[in-house]
Amino acid sequence: MFIDHVKIYVKAGDGGNGIVAYRREKYVPMGGPSGGDGGKGSDIVFEVDKGLRTLMDFRFQKHFKGDKGTNGMSQNMHGKNAEDTVLKVPPGTIIKNAETDEVLADLTEHTERAVVAKGGRGGRGNSRFASPSNPAPDYAENGEPGQEFDIVLELKLMADVGLVGYPSVGKSTLLSMVSGAKPKTGSYHFTTIKPNLGVVNTPDNRSFVMADLPGLIEGAAEGVGLGHQFLRHVERTKLIVHMIDMSSTDGRNPYDDYVQINKELKAYNEQLAKRPQIIVANKMDLPDGEAGLELFNEQLDEPLEIIQISSITGEGIPELLYKIADKLEEVEQQMNESNITIDEREHRVVYRHEKSDEAFTISRADDGAYVVSGEAIERLFKMTDFNREAAIRRFARQMRGMGIDDALRKKGAKNGDTVRILEADFEFIE
């Protein structure tokens, strides 16, 4: 089954907890704190595997969670960092934040990696908080929570050549003749409902990857028919082979088909209209083929080079393959000279894990409680061990330092009012 679009949930591993410990050796008087730090949580990493051609692995398993770092130990021993959770994806995978639609990574090269969700750092042990004024701190940090969110994986095939055209113009038949691919063929529309890839070798030992892409119809750029499922895969191709049924088997006008296909490509992405094309007149073995080609040439505003073939008899196919290989070499040379990518509107991105500038916000709940939320304060809350009085006092000092107390007063909070952070309720005290 070909899967090219999935939505999954990822949760990086939490950091391990720091611990409270003291040296108690017999011959070490006033030994002091010795609690070690927790280990770092597992990152969620996506890695390209060129052996994959689909997102099938994410079809049924949609939740991925990284391992937690090991807790710290006594004698200032740090916990072990968790190993990264590596998820393999095919070349051409784009990773987006499902909520914001932001592109987090665009992976195209074999073994290329991107850290999409970052694991939490380990909590600090009590030895890290020792100071002249507090030589024996009685608190430690819990591990930082790992990042978590829903993401969308979108696959755009990495093919050199894309076969485009209306349904039943012979794209699948051509691919089956020139490569080892075995796409489904039939005398009805939309026989191909998924892209098929094949490696093509020319007699002079040149090779390229060809994709048989599902047939276009009018309105595809707006999602009609297979719509965007088809067009997304054209974006990665270096060269478009535009196949036209010159015999008008389905009663359509070949010139109208040609114009409509180019119109849909341009409507979806302006760059596709500028992509190099090879025009192929197929089904020239049928009686109306020659007449259809003559009429097609008359309707053109300017002459075009057209390769005549029959994907059934094989006539003209060797010449077509040579032409494709020559054009690919020309395109690749131009790309190297101009140093541009195939799709100029896309950029390779590796997620930078930027933290929110907004430390906290304050709102009112239905029961009248003041709700304090925000990435920074919620992370601080999760890293506090509320089983220890000293840690609670430290958390209160940190809230004051962030300006939360003053902000609550400005919002109208009075002595005894309820302040809520996540699932915990506190009493506001002047």
How, if at all, do strands 196-201 and 207-212 pair?
antiparallel
Phi, psi of 85 (to 5 degrees): -90, 110
Find the range with the poorest average confidence among 46-60, 226-240, 285-299, 411-425.
226-240
pLDDT band at residue 124 using 50, 70 and 90 as cut-offs: very high
pLDDT band at residue 212 under the 50/70/90 scheme: confident
- The closest of 20, 204, 229, 53 to 127, measured between CA atoms, is 20
Tokens of 212: 């048989």
More confident residue, 427 or 348: 427
Residue 218 has pLDDT above 60, yes or no: no
Highest mean pLDDT: which of 225-229, 249-253, 344-348?
249-253
Q: How far apart are CA 309 and CA 73, in angstroms?
A: 74
Query: Does residue 381 surpass a pLDDT of 70?
Result: yes
Query: In angstroms, rounded to a whole number, what is the distance separating the alpha carbons of residues 377 and 276?
Result: 53
Partners of 392 in the β-ladder: none
Residue 111, pLDDT > 60, answer: yes
pLDDT digits (tens, 9 = 90+) for 295-315: 999 999 888 899 999 988 889
By percentage, how much of the chain surpasses pLDDT 90? 54
Q: Which residue has the higher pLDDT, 193 or 284?
A: 284
Residue 148 CB contacts under 8 Å (≥ 6 apart), including other chains: 9, 10, 11, 12, 117
Tokens coding 36: 């070690």
Contact 33, 139 (CB under 8 A): no
Distance between CA atoms of residues 162 and 239, nearest Å: 6
Does residue 65 have a pLDDT over 90?
A: yes
Banded model confidence at residue 3, pLDDT cuts 50, 70, 90: confident
- The pLDDT-based confidence of 224 (bands split at 50, 70, 90) is very low
pLDDT value for 119: 96
Strand-pair category, 239-245 with 161-164: parallel
Integer Cα distance of 139 and 20 in angstroms: 6
Kindly report the backbone phi and psi dihedral angles of residue 47, in degrees, each rounded to the nearest multiple of 5, phi listed first: -130, 140
What does the alpha-carbon distance between residue 281 and residue 387 come to, in Å, rounded to a whole number? 77
Reading the block at residue 429, the tokens are 């005290």
Angle at 79 between CA 77 and CA 82, to 5 degrees: 155
Q: Answer yes or no: is pLDDT of 183 > 60.
A: no
Residue written as token pair 């131009």 = 334
Secondary structure string (H, E, C) spanning the chain? CCCCEEEEEEECCCCCCCCCCECCCCCCCCCCECCCCCCCCCCEEEEECCCCCCCHHHCCCCEEECCCCCCCECCCECCCCCCCEEEEECCCEEEEECCCCCEEEEECCCCCEEEEECCCCCCCCHHHHCECCECCCCCCECCCCCCEEEEEEEECCCCCEEEECCCCCCHHHHHHHHCCCCCCCCCCCCCCCCCEEEEEECCCCCEEEEEECCCCCCCHHHCCCCHHHHHHHHCCCCEEEEEEECCCCCCCCHHHHHHHHHHHHHHHCHHHHHCCEEEEEECCCCCCHHHHHHHHHHHCCCCCCEEECCCCCCCCHHHHHHHHHHHHHHHHHHHHHHCCCCCCCCCCCCCCCCCCCCCCEEEECCCCCEEEECHHHHHHHHCECCCCHHHHHHHHHHHHHHCHHHHHHHCCCCCCCEEEECCEEEECCC
Segment 315-323 mean pLDDT: 93
